[in-house]
Amino acid sequence: MKKLIKSFKYAFEGIFTGIKKERNMKIHIVIMILVIIFGILFKISKIEWIICIALFGLVISMELINTAIENTVDLITKEKNEQAKIAKDVAAGAVLVSAIASAIIGLMIFVPKILAIF
């Protein structure tokens, strides 16, 4: 049981470190909070909440993986290296793809609700 508790402790430390140290993670968290606020205001459906929560998890997870890859690459080499650049760029690209897809889906959920007001 102690090992399980420790593994959760380390996982939460990783999440909080990502939030504290990564600028883009802070941006994702702010956007997530705004989506939650708008979701409450617009009374989105249960399925829309499920979609939003899944997308929050996807983008935040991708950002954490990106951070882990970048830090691992930096640990291995500080020199300019084409393979290191590819690893970091591809990891950042994965975050961008998930963020763009999430933004498009978010627009599909919220734009009709915003337009219904006008």
Summarised one tens digit per residue, pLDDT across range 57-109 is 999 999 999 999 999 999 999 888 999 999 999 999 999 999 999 999 999 99
Residue 18 has pLDDT above 90, yes or no: yes
Q: What is the pLDDT of residues 30-71, one digit of tens each?
A: 999 999 999 999 999 999 999 999 999 999 999 999 999 999
CB-based contact 87:69 (threshold 8 Å): yes
Active-site residue flag, 79: no
- Cα Rg for the chain, rounded, in angstroms? 17
The top-level CATH class assigned to 2-117 is mainly alpha
Which of these is catalytic: 63, 70, 79, 82? 63
Average pLDDT for 1-9 = 94
Domain map of the chain by residue range? 2-117
Cα 50 to Cα 55: distance, rounded to the nearest angstrom: 9
Q: How many CB atoms lie within 10 A of CB 79?
A: 6
The pTM (predicted TM-score) of the whole model is 0.90
